[in-house]
Structure 1
Amino acid sequence: MSSASAVEHVKRRLGAKRAGHGGTLDPIATGVLPICLGEATKLAQYLLANDKAYEADLVLGIETDTLDRTGTVTRTCDASHVTRDAIEAALAARRGEHDQLPPMYSAIKQGGVRLYERARAGEEIERTPRRVRIDRLDLLDFNPATAHLRIAIDCSKGTYVRSLVADIGTDLGCGAHMTELRRTRSGVFTLAEAHDLDRMDGVRLIPMTEATRLPRVTVAAEYVPRIRSGLQLAPEVLSVPADVYERFLLLDPAGELVSVAHVEGNKVLYDRVFVP
């Protein structure tokens, strides 16, 4: 099931008028997919910016055009020489920040056309590398007999695990492709908190204020209607701390979300405003 199909399923089951998700999953992937309903759809773009965590299975010695098991095999190579020590070294070299080339089979648009559409048409075009950050890259399991391994990844937004797997295969000199992928965390949301799409009865909806790690600022009740009407106010009027440089949540005295905002000059600008 695609991420869009999952959103539509939840929307129908819960009777929501609006719904969106906070980060697309690969077609073969399972795991955490944050879904926003109603006013919470205004938060989706901030969930996209969240760091992610994954577990991925890969097989050494086989490369595919999609970089995963859904694709056509493009090259095979003997991987019997690869040792656990070599894998550990390859993983260590990929930790930290580096430039990653997005796969051709991806939803990124280039020239107004999604890359996967060009790939299906047999095109291979030049792509712009993107800066990504790998905070964790650990070996969980390795079977030398089958050249199968499982890895754990903590990474920044925009990281393509398929591309990371292919890069690891290249570093080991034998190629690789991803066979399974599970997202275990997306921002504050973990797999332990996730609900199966087939078991939605009695599901607890998470309040918007718990959906993000953005700093929180509580404003006096008298300013809430002014914020919702778009009236710009000075940071000191809203008691915004001087050391808050990023986007933050404005909450009313009851703890309800009023706006996602940021400071520009001597004004608080409202990126998103929420109505009760």
Structure 2
Amino acid sequence: MTTPPTAPTGSLACCVEGNRPMASGTETLSGILPLDKPAGLTSAAAVARVKKIGGRVKVGHLGTLDPMATGLLPLCLGEGTKAAPYLSIADKAYEGVILLGVITDTLDVTGTVAERRKVPDLASIDLESLAARFTGNIEQVPPAFSAIKKGGVPMYRLARKGEAPAMDPRRVRITFLELSVAGPERLSVRLRCSKGTYVRSLARDIGEALGCGGTLEALRRTGFGRLDLASAVTLAELEEGGRERLRRALIPLSEALSDLRPVRVDDETAGRLRRGQQQALASAPPPRRAGETGRVLGPAGELVAVVREQEGRWRLDRVFAESAPCGP
């Protein structure tokens, strides 16, 4: 959602680094780390720095933030990388600033200025009505500088060479949008949106609706599903506190997936499920509706598996190994 990146904001794959087992005698870290990413750092670089603190543990990130953007970047550690498909679909919340009267090739201030236009008197604009035009299900054209692939090639690579084709509009959902004047040529924006929404594109479209164009000047992610910045930790805190600070900052997987219905089982059933024995689900409470997804919890509330309803019965979707406790 900002600059020409290695992978821009809005990308939802969990990119994973490091898959070698921990040395004998060292507990494996597993969980979700709510990281407050600083400006000037790619999401991949943030992963590398956390991996250095955690040692030989798998680390991946959800919902890429571009270098210019700051804020909540959830990282998946250890068994947490298996939870990525269930977490990446969550809505995101952002705060940002739109610079009006400036049009750039990347749709943010890190790009090349293509055009400048006069900005109307913002005091005369009904910002509430303007925001309403972009609230709900809308069609949005993604930026050419994005990680969306055409023919297997990321668009930003083609855009850098001036070869990016016209992008097709996509349906996204903005459930909340608030605009306010932040200066003679700037608007502050607060929003909550579905995956795949580009705030850069929103800045462009709001600027065009005002007749002056616009580009994204600043962006901070403030929420990701149930996660918010209140629970986030900085890289400086992690690098000062080391592996123990990292362990305490992790959110247990059973808590991170708390949107899923809990399905509780005893210790024996948990062990059988971890060995991939589908028949052990016969003793679990049954699904309540078609297509339901549940999180199987052991006696201590630990995550054992994620299950999905199929033909009226639970089926294993993902199994999680036992891991050391995390959190405070």
TM-score by length of 1: 0.93
Report the alpha carbon displacement of residue 128 of structure 1 after superposing the two structures with TM: 3.0
1:194 aligned partner, one-letter code = A
Report the alpha carbon displacement of residue 40 of structure 1 after superposing the two structures with TM: 0.8
Kept in 2: contact 1:16–1:38 (CA 8 A) = no
**For residues 218 and 57 of structure 1, do their structure 2 counterparts lie closer, same or farther at Cα, with a shift above 3 Å needed?**
same
Q: Decide which of 276, 295, 308 is 1:230's aligned counterpart.
A: 276
Kept in 1: contact 2:281–2:314 (CA 8 A) = yes
Report the alpha carbon displacement of residue 236 of structure 1 after superposing the two structures with TM: 5.8
Q: Does residue 60 of structure 1 match 2:105?
A: no
Q: Does residue 273 of structure 1 match 2:316?
A: no
Kept in 2: contact 1:235–1:263 (CA 8 A) = no
Structure 2 SS opposite 1:262: strand
Q: Does residue 31 of structure 1 match 2:71?
A: yes
Alignment of 1:163-178 (within 5 A): 163-178=201-216
Kept in 1: contact 2:69–2:220 (CA 8 A) = yes
State the partner residue of 1:246: 292
Kept in 1: contact 2:287–2:312 (CA 8 A) = no
Report how many residues are paired. 274
Kept in 1: contact 2:94–2:219 (CA 8 A) = yes
Worse-matched range after superposition: 260-269 or 172-181: 260-269
Report the alpha carbon displacement of residue 215 of structure 1 after superposing the two structures with TM: 2.1
Q: Does residue 211 of structure 1 match 2:256?
A: yes
Worse-matched range after superposition: 148-157 or 11-20: 11-20
Q: Does residue 9 of structure 1 match 2:49?
A: yes
CA RMSD of aligned residues (A): 1.8
2: CA distance between counterparts of 1:13 and 1:229? 31
Worse-matched range after superposition: 14-23 or 256-265: 14-23
Q: Does residue 185 of structure 1 match 2:220?
A: no
Report the alpha carbon displacement of residue 171 of structure 1 after superposing the two structures with TM: 1.0
1:215 aligned partner, one-letter code = R
Structure 2 SS opposite 1:97: strand
Worse-matched range after superposition: 229-238 or 56-65: 229-238
1:178 aligned partner, one-letter code = L
Q: Deviations over 1:234-262 (max 9, x none)?
A: 86632034137332211112111111121
Structure 2 SS opposite 1:34: strand
**For residues 80 and 128 of structure 1, do their structure 2 counterparts lie closer, same or farther at Cα, with a shift above 3 Å needed?**
closer
Worse-matched range after superposition: 56-65 or 245-254: 245-254
Kept in 2: contact 1:22–1:34 (CA 8 A) = yes
Structure 2 SS opposite 1:33: strand
2:295 aligned partner, one-letter code = L
Alignment of 1:141-152 (within 5 A): 141-144=181-184, 147-152=185-190
Kept in 1: contact 2:122–2:181 (CA 8 A) = no
1: CA distance between counterparts of 2:207 and 2:143? 15
1:174 aligned partner, one-letter code = C
State the partner residue of 2:110: 70
Q: Deviations over 1:107-131 (max 9, x none)?
A: 1112101110111111131333222
Kept in 1: contact 2:96–2:219 (CA 8 A) = yes
1: CA distance between counterparts of 2:290 and 2:236? 41
1:170 aligned partner, one-letter code = E
Report the alpha carbon displacement of residue 46 of structure 1 after superposing the two structures with TM: 2.0
- Sequence identity (%): 46
Q: Deviations over 1:145-168 (max 9, x none)?
A: xx1111101111111111111111
Kept in 1: contact 2:287–2:309 (CA 8 A) = no
TM-score by length of 2: 0.79
Worse-matched range after superposition: 32-41 or 79-88: 79-88
1: CA distance between counterparts of 2:290 and 2:311? 13
Report the alpha carbon displacement of residue 170 of structure 1 after superposing the two structures with TM: 1.1
Worse-matched range after superposition: 247-256 or 214-223: 214-223
Report the alpha carbon displacement of residue 44 of structure 1 after superposing the two structures with TM: 1.9
2: CA distance between counterparts of 1:152 and 1:27? 20
Q: Decide which of 190, 194, 215 is 1:156's aligned counterpart.
A: 194
**For residues 84 and 162 of structure 1, do their structure 2 counterparts lie closer, same or farther at Cα, with a shift above 3 Å needed?**
farther
Q: Does residue 42 of structure 1 match 2:87?
A: no
Stretches of structure 1 lacking an aligned partner (at least 5 in a row) = none
